[in-house]
């Protein structure tokens, strides 16, 4: 019985790491590349930016208005870049900007697809 449980746990852990990927976002001057990134749940995003650029999540209204006010509870990548882990990227669209260059329109989105096999509430 113990061997079966250990095997099941090992199989679950292997499946969680097998299908995840890490995507890279860079900056090309004062733009993020890619401007829109679509990922699956469980994927990570690595920002490789020059020292003059950061990435701060904002709400859609601020994103549309080129306003860099940080979203409460949103992600913040320091100047020069950093790694966003899956726990920081729930399903939906994440709008983000470079606070130094938002006036010039340096902004982009990360779209995290809904998990497959999850039933939605239809009530």
pLDDT along the chain (123 residues), means of 10: 54 56 96 98 97 97 97 97 96 97 96 78 54
Distances (CA, A) of 15 to 33, 44, 91, 95: 29, 16, 19, 29
pTM, full prediction: 0.80
Residue 115: predicted pLDDT: 85
**Alpha-carbon span 115 to 36, nearest angstrom:** 19
**Alpha-carbon span 62 to 51, nearest angstrom:** 24
């Amino acid at each position: 019985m113990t061997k079966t449980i250990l095997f099941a746990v090992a199989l679950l852990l292997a499946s969680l790491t097998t299908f995840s990927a890490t995507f890279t976002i860079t900056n090309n001057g004062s733009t993020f590349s890619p401007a829109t990134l679509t990922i699956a749940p469980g994927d990570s995003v690595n920002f490789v930016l020059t020292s003059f650029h950061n990435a701060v999540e904002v709400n859609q209204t601020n994103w549309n208005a080129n306003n860099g006010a940080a979203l409460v509870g949103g992600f913040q990548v320091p100047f020069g870049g950093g790694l966003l882990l899956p726990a920081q990227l729930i399903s939906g669209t994440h709008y983000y900007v470079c606070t130094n260059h938002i006036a010039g329109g340096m902004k982009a989105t990360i779209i995290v697809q809904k998990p497959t096999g999850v039933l939605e509430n239809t009530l």
